[in-house]
Chain A
Amino acid sequence: MESYFTVMFAFFFLPVTMLVYQLFPVKKRWVVLLVASLIFFWSISGGLILFVILSGFMIHYFGLWMENIDLQCSSHKEAQKKKRSVLVFAICVHIGILVLCKYTGFLLGNINSLFVWLNIPILIQVPKIGLPIGISFYSLQAVSYCVDVYRQKIKADHNPLRLLLFLVFFPTIMEGPICRYEQTAYSLWEGKSISYGSLTFGTQRILWGVFKKLVIADRLNPMVNELFTNYQNYSGGMVCIAMVTYTLQLYMDFSGTMDVVIGTAEIFGVHLPENFRQPFFSKSIAEFWQRWHITLGTWFKDYVFYPVSMSKMAKKITRKTKKKLGYYYAPLVAGSIALFAVWICNGLWHGSGWHFIFFGLYHFFFILMGNLMLPLLRKYHLQFNHGFLRYLAMIRTTILVCIGELIFRADGLRIALAMIKKMFVDFQFESLNAQMLSTLHIDMQDILLVCVSVLIVFVISVCKEKNVQIRKKVASGPIVLRWTLYYTLIFAVILFGAYGTGYVPVDPMYASY
């Protein structure tokens, strides 16, 4: 079972889990979810399951430790000081494991390059370290739990199995969303019955996600791979197409998987936070990151941005610069330092490579520019929220996002820069004749299908943006209309999905980050 998009998961694992869950007494249903989650994790990562089990038991212990400090210390200040040490230790352990598993190769590779550059004849062997599935996601959940206990936002959980389930819940383990303890831990524990409503609503959401992934994202995959692997053979115009289609593929893949994840959880009565809110309607890069991978953005805001920008050092900088820079720009200095930290972390979270760091800094630059230029825009009454300028801002943001995704997808920083250069110095299009289409592993029918499917997603996104409750409207519509829609969606997936003979299954793209 490699992912949610396998026959094993959809037609065996999930139905069996649902059946056993429903047959179990309410109070013990969490056991079914926990066992199913551990089986799912084990089927993908094998023995590396020990990492997540260890994490679960560790955060349980750290939580209790901090709670004990609170009970034992009479002075609040002293308790905070001791708890801070425990928290720092807990964060170091979790981030340390993440760094060890994910970044050892990158770090040692860079040290080796430095030795070569300095003519030092030392070559450190890069060890092969297994990467448990979803480590980037559950590590952040573990850290957020420890910080929230430290901040007394939540009480330490005395049940290690509940914490383990919170970390390892099978719909969220591959690609998130990155949940907070207070959001999901107790609803996982409640054991709500699977109702007709939760089943139908959950299934609808899953179907919609499968449509986005199989019909659009996976159909674009061979072409995107070809264009990014052999970009030297193509003109700048084709590189531009690669950039746009990859952005589309990534969005459809990630948001489609999120629909499957949220739909699956919905069946069990668990409401997960949304990770996407029509990101391509954003008028700035800052807004884009409030609509794209929302749970990662809010995690960095709560656990990196605020702690850095509210630190003593940041306050000191604001105080010192206030006279020279004024009330707007002075706090911006400390805020920008925090923002820099956020984007370095964001880039690195996505992967170990300089292009990921550059990807983070690229977005930092545009958000910083946006912040710096705000007074100027206000001065000249330039409002991007209304009229024609609004659409112009959306297009501009989309172009910047696409360039960012090109950096993200390219096999290294040098290649990313070479591709961007090609778009500017060699902007022309090859004719899309039969030979070219065959090289790109796509045909005219595929292109037409993708265009129509994207249009459907776009129309639904517009409705959502206008707060039209599509699912509720469909659910309250006449049965003929409802069923026609369901059959259309099901048969669109069966007929137009990129699966079976001639297609290579594509794992959810964010599962590898």
Chain B
Amino acid sequence: MSEKWNRIGRIFLFFMIFFTLVWYGSRIVEPKDNLDQFGMKDVSANGILSERKDSIDVLFLGDSLVYSSISPMAMYEKEGFTSYLCSTPAQPLYYTKSLLERTLQNQSPKLVVLEADTFFRDFLATDPAVEKIKELFPLFEYHDRWKNLQAQDWTGDVHYTYNNVLKGFRINRDIKPVQKIGSYMDDHKKGESISVLNRWVLDSIVQMCKEKGCQLLVYSTPSYKNWNWKRHDAVQTYCDDNKIPYLDLNTETKSLSIDWKEDTRDQGDHLNYEGAMKVTKYMEEYLKKHYDLEDHRQDEQYQSWNDSLVNYNKTIEDRK
């Protein structure tokens, strides 16, 4: 019996030491700033970490369709509300949830806007758990940082300083038109129903927004390659069931004046800068009309946004 307890004790001690080492290793390798040179991943989306506490009114979440179609700074310039895009390439929904969770620790957005393309991206049942482990122990996410650890990684604290003047938006002025323009909403694409796993994550996102008092809006950005009526119906049904407004801009391409010969950078997959400006204009008007969003342009606390706006306009000019 004592041998048995001895073994159990040793196993317990082994794992205690193991988790202590993992925790300590995580502290060492986690990026000490949200800049590329500090090893931070998804820098554009993680720029939100250095935004002032409770300064973001609208939080956009989703895959590359988001950062290709919405410019928070353009909306700020016109309407004065602040927004940020936590969008990353091929973002799976469990990662959307993780970004939301992390953002809500420092921000209290009035509105969370979810792009619906992520609802149809499949993932493994273990992926959300792996993401959680990576959150708890950044050692598993940033293990490759052993290659360029600096002195401050061993002793320094985490301090985020990156000011992303584009607020998550990515400028791309390329034009690669859709070859044969037809009625893309009637095309059948792979994965046209929301899978059980995605629905499960989606439910938890809805719940989280309710608990934190954030309103939720689901939207679909115009995408010739990715969207169709079946997907629209699946999202509409989910939103109706959960009493969430759904804005499908694919049904509004005419009023938006989206020209698939001019407004896409990759044959209808993503919009380019011109397309993004059309969507942004529509979105800013829609949000101002339907939500009570404050104008911060004269607010001294938002001076950094006004400074960023100058830099933003300069960046847009430079990239013409």
The interface of chain A, by Cβ under 8 A from chain B, is 6-8, 11-12, 196, 443, 445, 479, 483, 486-487, 490-491, 494-497, 500-502
Contacts and interface: CB of A to CB of B under 8 A. Distances in A.
Interface in B120-152: 124-126, 129-130, 134, 139-141, 143-144, 146-147
A7 B123 CA distance: 13
B126 A500 contact: no
Contact of A495 (B10, B14, B130, B143): B143
B143 A8 contact: no
A500 B146 CA distance: 14
Nearest to B3: A196
29 contacts: A7-B129, A8-B125, A8-B126, A11-B126, A12-B126, A445-B146, A445-B147, A479-B10, A483-B14, A483-B17, A486-B14, A487-B17, A487-B18, A491-B21, A494-B139, A494-B140, A494-B143, A495-B143, A495-B146, A496-B143, A496-B146, A497-B143, A500-B140, A500-B141, A500-B143, A500-B144, A501-B41, A501-B141, A502-B144
Nearest to A13: B126
Contacts of A501: 41, 141
A8 B129 CA distance: 10
A490 B18 contact: yes
Nearest to B134: A500
B25 interface: yes
A56 to B, nearest CB: 29
Interface of B: 7, 10, 14, 17-18, 21-22, 25, 41, 124-126, 129-130, 134, 139-141, 143-144, 146-147
B98 to A, nearest CB: 13
A103 B185 CA distance: 42
A196 B139 CA distance: 29
A7 B126 contact: yes
Contacts of A12: 126
A6 B130 CA distance: 11
Nearest to A196: B7
Q: Identify whether the interface residues of A are mostly helix, strand, loop, or mixed.
A: helix
Nearest to B4: A196
A445 B17 CA distance: 28
Point out which of B21, B41, B126, B134 has the most chain A C-beta atoms below 10 A from its C-beta: B126
Given A196-B7, A483-B14, A500-B141, A495 B25 contact: yes
A223 to B, nearest CB: 16
Contacts of B134: 500
A11 B125 CA distance: 12
Contacts of B18: 487, 490
Contacts of A6: 126
Point out which of B10, B22, B144, B146 has the most chain A C-beta atoms below 10 A from its C-beta: B144
A443 B10 CA distance: 40
Contacts of A502: 144
A502 B145 CA distance: 12
Contacts of A487: 17-18, 21
Contacts of B21: 487, 491
A262 B182 CA distance: 57
A318 B124 CA distance: 61
For the complex of A and B, list the 9 residue pairs with the smallest distance between their C-beta atoms, beginning with the closest: A445-B147, A7-B126, A8-B126, A495-B143, A495-B146, A7-B130, A196-B7, A501-B41, A494-B143
A273 to B, nearest CB: 30
B41 to A, nearest CB: 6
B42 to A, nearest CB: 9
Nearest to A496: B146
Nearest to A494: B143
Contacts of A496: 143, 146
Nearest to A501: B41
A196 B130 CA distance: 28
A502 B17 CA distance: 29
B146 to A, nearest CB: 5
A478 B18 CA distance: 18
A72 to B, nearest CB: 53
Contacts of B10: 479
Nearest to B129: A7
A36 to B, nearest CB: 17
A207 to B, nearest CB: 12
Given A445-B146, A487-B21, 11 more contacts: A6-B126, A7-B124, A443-B147, A483-B17, A487-B18, A494-B25, A494-B139, A494-B143, A495-B146, A497-B143, A500-B141
Contacts of A443: 147
A445 B147 CA distance: 6
A8 B125 CA distance: 8
Contacts of B126: 6-8, 11-12
B19 to A, nearest CB: 12
A481 B22 CA distance: 19
A500 B7 CA distance: 34
Contacts of B146: 445, 495-496
B318 to A, nearest CB: 27
Contacts of B139: 494-495
Nearest to B11: A196
Contacts of A7: 124, 126, 129-130
B125 to A, nearest CB: 7
Nearest to A199: B11
